[in-house]
Structures are given as C-alpha cells and as structure tokens.
C-alpha cells in the first residue's frame, strides 16, 4: 500500500515560549520536567506515522494522550512546534492561507465528537455546508446533499433541525456533511464516542459499509480499543504524546509491545481480531470446509463446529490451500493468554 | 488641621477662569464649526423627516396591516399579532396617531443607526481583546452619564430638534447592542467554529454563516434593550422646552395618554424581538 499521509518528527508544545522549550525537549527533558519546571505542556512528542492510502488508520489513546491534537495537525487546525506533515508529497505546513483553505475544502473533511452542526440550519442545509463553502451552485449542492443524506439513512429528515434529532442521527448528519465534499481524506475525531453502545455499533457498520465502496483514507481517533480493533486496518497507540506501538489489530493483540498495551488488550475478544492465516498450520491433507485466510477465528469456529469435520482448510485469494486449522487451534486462539494462571488461582 | 478638614481645592477665581475658558472655547468651536457639523447631520435629518412624513401619509389601516405583518414575521404568534393590532387601534382611538408615527419613525431610524454602527463595533471587539479593552470603558461612561449631560453640548452645537434627540437615543441605546454583539460572538460554540475552519471557511464566511447567526439571540436581546429605551427619544423629539411646559401645565391624567401610547409601542417591539431568544 502506498503512503497517503506522512507525519515526520512532529512535536507540539503548549505554552507561551514553545520554540525555546523545543531545544530542551530535544536534549532530553521529559514531559514531567517540562510541566513542573517550565510550565509548558508537551502535547506531542516526536510522532512518526505513515498512513496508508485508502485504509482506515486508527489512533487510539486515553484522554490526554494527544490523539485529538494529532489529528488536528493533519488539516493544520493546530500548528506544530516542529515537524512535518506530508500529504501526497505536498507539505501541509508550507501551504499559504489560501492553499490551506482550498486543501480543507477539497481534500480533507472532518467529523467531530460533539457533531458541531449549525443549530440554525436544517439537516439539508447542514449537509450542503461544505459544498457552499466550495462555491458550488445551490441546485447542485442540494442534489448532492440529498444523495448523502440518503446514504447515511436520514432520508425524510431533510427539513428537520439538529436539535430535533437524537445523537446518533445528528452524527449521521455530521458524516453526510463530511462525505458530501468528496474529499479523499476523512478525519474523524472521536466521532462515535458520544453515542450509546448500540448506536455506536450501528454507526461503525455504516462507516465500514461506505468505506468498502468509497475507499477513502480515514484517520479515526478513539479511546475505545474494541472500536479500534473493529474498524482499524492499522492502529497506532498513543500515550503521553508518544506513539508506543503501531501495527495491524492482530499485531497489537498478539504482540503487545509493553505491559501498558497488554493490560489494555487482555479483555478483548480475540476471536474477533485474529484471522485464520495467522494461526494456521501447514497443510497435512486434512479434509473440511474451505475458508478464507482473512476469516476471523470466531466466524471460523462457528463454521467448523457446524461441519462434520473437526478441521478446516485455509485458502488464499487464488483458491489454493495454504494450511489447515482444527477446532482446538481455534479455541486456543480465542482463549486469553493468562487463562491458565486464572485456573490455578481457583 | 485645616488641611484635613478642607479639601485643598483651586481658588474661586481659578475655577471661574477655568469655567470661562472651557465655555469660551466650546462657544468658539460651535461658532466656527456649528454649521458644518449641522450640515454633516443634515442627511440624517432629511431621512428622519422623510420617514416620518411617509408614516404619517400612510393610511392608518395600511400601517396597521404592515405592522401586523412584521409582527407575524418576527414572532409567528397570532396572539402577538392581535395584541399589536389592538394596541395601535387604541392609540388611534385616543387621538395620538400622529405623535405615535413620529415616535415609531424615531425608533425605526435610531434602530437602523444603532445596528449599522453597533454591529461592526461589536464584531471588532469580539475579534480583538485590545479593541475590547478600549471600547468597554467608553461604553461604561456612555451608560453611566445621564443623557441630558451629553445632550447639553449637542444642543449647543445643533440646537434643539430631532437630530440631538436621535443622537441622545443612539448614545443611550448603542452600548447594549455593542456589548451583546461582542458577548454573543464570543460565546459561539468553539467546536462549531472549528468545524467552519475545518471545512475551509474564510473569515467572512465564518462571520456571516456561523458567528452572527449563532450570536443572533444575544444581538436581539441588545435590540430589545434598545427599543425599550426609546422613551429618551421622546425627550428629544418633543423639543425639550415643550416637554417642560407640558409637565408644568398638565395634570397626571393627560400624562397618562402619551405614557400609555408609549407603553403600547414598547410592548409590541419587546414581544416581537424577545421571541428570538
């Protein structure tokens, strides 16, 4: 996959004399020292991230980890203290005001945690907001806005005001507004965090559905690991303004880099993260249902349990058998790594 | 001990000289520039007179119809529209139609004037803390000085008439508009503003599509304050001397008439603007 967005040695220090503090951080001053001795906050600490084209990059971290600060550097709502942000080979930080506005209008749209809709405009008018700013003719803007309202499942609500809608519906408007501008980059800042769990899952499905067809480059911020694992093609975990691990959901769950991440991942349903090709063994001629290597362990367990065979053949994209799994492998993959110690405790 | 009991004020002669000097220089100034300044305000006067004539020339049923239409547009409430019609009917019934038309034209013109001056100043204050720190004390002074104090130099310059009345109203009524415009814009949800930025709005789009619409409830609160203050308009309009005479020669029962007419017009404007916040 080609890289769409490249973030290089990005630092952000909050405080009146950030530039001077930059030297101290480079020479090894820690976040705590900077806070206690110099009264400056180290928001982002040497971030390096390559975000693939047409994929969903999740940035996960707890509050205060700097994830919202990071996403705002991609469309330069926040200016960095030091570092570079490249998008398709263009340096965002070198753009003039006019170029930056044009970039925001055409290339990168954003969805916000608290929806940030205009309360005095109807759903339709909110959805066409970005198009209006682009300078699109009213008639065409209305047509496109209606299309996207329908795509997010809000047809019939065009003339309602945001205040009359539930949170989930308001965020659908937020999503429609962002999609309507036809930008190739979609920035989502905790977009589903303010919603109830059921509605959140709903919205995740809508997003994944749309993405399978639109293939945008999505940067998705969340504090919820389940959500990160569910929608992320790649995940970067942020702590204290620093990326502590990045990789695919499987890599995060199977090889947590430190105790902090291991602690996070231990209660995760691994069957919904791990894929067959990760745990398969070499082909030993066993018979059974033929399953894709990208299938999730949980789904495979269901199928193997229902089939007469205790094995399944794992196939690659061209229909060749590349390995096998049996029911024990599947159960072991789903079990928590510390399950044995828990049993001993009993 | 005298030092502590008597304030060491300037001598009587010094004070008199000071007074004379101020008087003379202001008189000189008004003799020198009075006509130019009057000419400067002439378009305003013509506009005011023209507007008043237009209102007085309008047949009363049409006027009531138009006002009711405006009340409907502003409030979308049939009760307020009926209240408007009834109160104007009562005003006419008590024989104060002409006077009310002058009052209404004064309110309308001063509102237009206040908004066209107050809104930009309020916007400027909301964008710059420095502008805010300069304008705020000026507004404080405008709101604490009684209107006749600043009316004196204005009357000396322009004589007694409509324009000084208008100036008095504007000075009296513009501070709440400026303050509430500033406050309203500063209170706009920062996430919505961020969304405007994220979609590439330029400063003008930001101001006209987000900041002013979202500040509108507060701005209307300012307009409401302003139109409730329009009784100052009467001070100027009724020509101060007339007014003094009127207070001196008439009893409380005839005072009731203009006061109640004033009250009706005020009630109407209040209900219609209040609807917005």
Rg (CA), chain B: 23
Three-state secondary structure call for residue B236: helix
Where, residue-wise, is CATH 3.40.50.300 in chain A? 3-107+183-268
Residue B123 placed within a domain: yes
DSSP-assigned letters across all residues of A24-58 = HHHTT--HHHHHHHH--EEEEEEEEEEEETTSEEE
Which DSSP helix (H) or strand (E) runs through B240?
A: helix B240-249
Q: Which chain A residues touch B214 with a CB distance below 8 Å?
A: 118-120
Residue B4 placed within a domain: no
The pLDDT score that the predictor gives to residue B265 is 61
Q: Which chain B residues touch A133 with a CB distance below 8 Å?
A: 199-201, 205
- A220 closest CA partner among A6, A56, A1, A48: A56
* Sign of the C-alpha dihedral computed for residues B151, B154, B158 and B164 taken in this order: negative
Q: B227 vs A155, which has greater pLDDT?
A: A155
- B48 closest CA partner among B97, B116, B106, B114: B106
Q: What is the CATH number of the domain that holds B110?
A: 1.10.3720.10
Q: pLDDT category, B268, cuts 50, 70, 90?
A: low
Give the residue-averaged pLDDT of A58-81: 93
Check if A101 contacts B (Cβ < 8 Å).
yes
Residue B217 placed within a domain: yes
Check if A148 contacts B (Cβ < 8 Å).
no
> CA B207, B213, B218: angle at the middle one, nearest 5?
110
Reported as a single tens digit per residue, the pLDDT across A83-119 is 999 999 999 999 999 999 999 999 999 999 999 999 9
Q: Is A141 exposed, middle or buried (0-12, 13-18, 19+ CB in 10 A)?
A: buried
Find residue A301's DSSP bridge partners: none
- Asked whether the beta carbons of A40 and A17 are under 8 A apart, the reply is yes
- B25 closest CA partner among B161, B156, B165: B156
Q: What is the ipTM of this complex?
A: 0.84
Reported as a single tens digit per residue, the pLDDT across B40-52 is 888 888 988 899 8
The domain total for chain B is 1
Residue for token pair 């399944």: A312
Residue of chain A minimizing CA distance to B192: A116
Q: How many beta carbons lie within 10 A of that of residue B153, not counting itself?
A: 13
Interface contact A116-B210, CB threshold 8 A: no
- Asked whether the beta carbons of B166 and B109 are under 8 A apart, the reply is yes
Check if B189 contacts A (Cβ < 8 Å).
yes
Q: Which chain A residues touch B194 with a CB distance below 8 Å?
A: 77, 112, 116
Reported as a single tens digit per residue, the pLDDT across A299-332 is 888 888 888 888 888 888 888 888 888 888 888 8
Domain A3-107+183-268 matching CATH 3.40.50.300: the answer reads: yes
The two tokens of residue B69 are 């239409």
Domain that holds residue B102: 26-274
Residue B21 placed within a domain: no
Interface contact B214-A119, CB threshold 8 A: yes
Residue of chain A minimizing CA distance to B216: A120
A23 pLDDT higher than 60: yes
Q: pLDDT category, B274, cuts 50, 70, 90?
A: low
What's domain A271-345's architecture? Roll (3.10)
CA–CA dist A85, A187 (Å, integer) = 14
Task: Quickly list H helices, chain B.
Answer: 2-5, 12-57, 60-75, 78-93, 97-127, 129-144, 147-158, 162-186, 190-198, 203-205, 212-228, 231-237, 240-249, 252-274
CA–CA dist A251, A241 (Å, integer) = 21
CA–CA dist A122, B211 (Å, integer) = 17
Q: Which chain B residues touch A130 with a CB distance below 8 Å?
A: 199-200
Q: pLDDT category, A28, cuts 50, 70, 90?
A: confident
B84 pLDDT higher than 90: no
The two tokens of residue B219 are 């701005």
> CA A74, A63, A198: angle at the middle one, nearest 5?
90
- Asked whether the beta carbons of B146 and B168 are under 8 A apart, the reply is no
Reported as a single tens digit per residue, the pLDDT across B157-205 is 777 778 888 888 888 889 999 999 999 999 999 999 999 999 999 999 9
User: In Å, how far is B197's CA from the nearest CA of chain A?
Assistant: 7
């Amino acid at each position: 996959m080609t890289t769409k967005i490249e973030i290089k040695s990005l630092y952000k220090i909050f405080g009146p004399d950030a530039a001077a503090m930059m030297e101290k951080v480079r020479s090894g001053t820690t976040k705590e020292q900077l806070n206690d001795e110099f009264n400056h906050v180290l928001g982002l600490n040497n971030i390096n991230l390559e975000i693939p084209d047409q994929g969903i990059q999740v940035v996960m971290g707890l509050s205060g980890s700097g994830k919202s600060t990071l996403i705002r550097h991609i469309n330069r709502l926040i200016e960095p203290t030091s570092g570079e942000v490249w998008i398709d080979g263009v340096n965002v930080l070198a753009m003039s005001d006019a170029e930056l506005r044009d970039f925001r209008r055409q290339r990168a749209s954003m969805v916000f945690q608290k929806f940030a809709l205009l309360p005095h405009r109807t759903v339709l008018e909110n959805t066409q907001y970005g198009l209006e700013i682009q300078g699109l003719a009213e008639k065409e803007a209305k047509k496109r806005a209606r299309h996207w309202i329908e795509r997010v499942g809000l047809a019939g609500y065009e003339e309602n005001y945001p205040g009359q809608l539930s949170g989930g519906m308001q965020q659908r408007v937020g999503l429609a507004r962002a999609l309507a501008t036809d930008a190739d980059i979609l920035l989502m800042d905790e977009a589903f965090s303010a919603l109830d769990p059921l509605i959140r899952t709903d919205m995740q499905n809508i997003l994944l559905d749309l993405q399978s067809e639109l293939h945008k480059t999505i940067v998705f911020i969340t504090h919820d690991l389940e959500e990160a694992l569910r929608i992320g093609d790649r995940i970067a975990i942020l702590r204290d303004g620093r990326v502590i691990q990045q990789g695919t959901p499987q890599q995060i769950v199977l090889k947590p880099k430190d105790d902090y991440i291991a602690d996070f991942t231990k209660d995760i349903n691994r069957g919904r993260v791990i894929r067959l090709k990760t745990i398969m063994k070499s082909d030993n001629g066993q018979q059974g249902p033929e399953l894709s290597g990208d299938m999730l362990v949980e789904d495979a367990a269901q199928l193997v349990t229902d089939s007469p065979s205790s094995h399944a053949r794992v196939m690659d994209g061209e229909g060749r058998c590349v390995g096998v799994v049996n029911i024990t492998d599947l159960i072991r993959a789903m079990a928590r790594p510390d399950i044995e110690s828990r049993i001993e405790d009993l | 001990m005298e030092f502590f009991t008597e304030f060491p004020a300037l001598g009587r002669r010094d004070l008199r000289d000071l007074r004379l000097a101020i008087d003379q220089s202001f008189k000189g100034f008004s003799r020198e520039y009075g006509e130019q300044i009057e000419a400067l305000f002439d378009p305003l006067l013509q506009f005011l007179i023209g507007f008043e004539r237009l209102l007085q020339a309008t047949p009363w049923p049409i006027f009531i119809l138009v006002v009711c239409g405006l009340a409907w547009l502003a409030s979308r409430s049939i009760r307020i529209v009926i209240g408007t019609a009834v109160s104007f009917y009562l005003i006419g019934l008590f024989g104060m139609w002409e006077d009310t038309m002058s009052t209404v034209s004064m309110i309308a013109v001063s509102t237009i004037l206040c908004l066209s001056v107050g809104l930009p100043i309020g916007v400027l204050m909301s964008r710059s803390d420095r502008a805010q720190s300069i304008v705020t004390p000026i507004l404080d002074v405008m709101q604490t000085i009684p209107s006749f104090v600043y009316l004196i130099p204005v009357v000396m310059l322009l004589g007694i008439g409509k324009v000084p009345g208008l100036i008095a109203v504007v000075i009296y009524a513009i501070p709440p508009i400026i303050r509430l415009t500033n406050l309203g814009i500063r209170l706009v949800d920062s996430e919505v503003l961020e969304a405007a930025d994220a979609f590439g709005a330029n400063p003008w789009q930001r101001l006209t599509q987000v900041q002013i619409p979202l500040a509108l409830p507060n701005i209307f609160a300012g307009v409401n304050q302003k139109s409730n203050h329009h009784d100052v308009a009467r001070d100027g309009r009724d020509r101060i001397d007339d007014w003094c005479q009127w207070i001196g020669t008439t009893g409380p029962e005839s005072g009731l008439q203009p006061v109640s007419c004033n009250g009706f017009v005020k009630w109407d404007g209040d209900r219609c603007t209040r609807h917005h916040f």
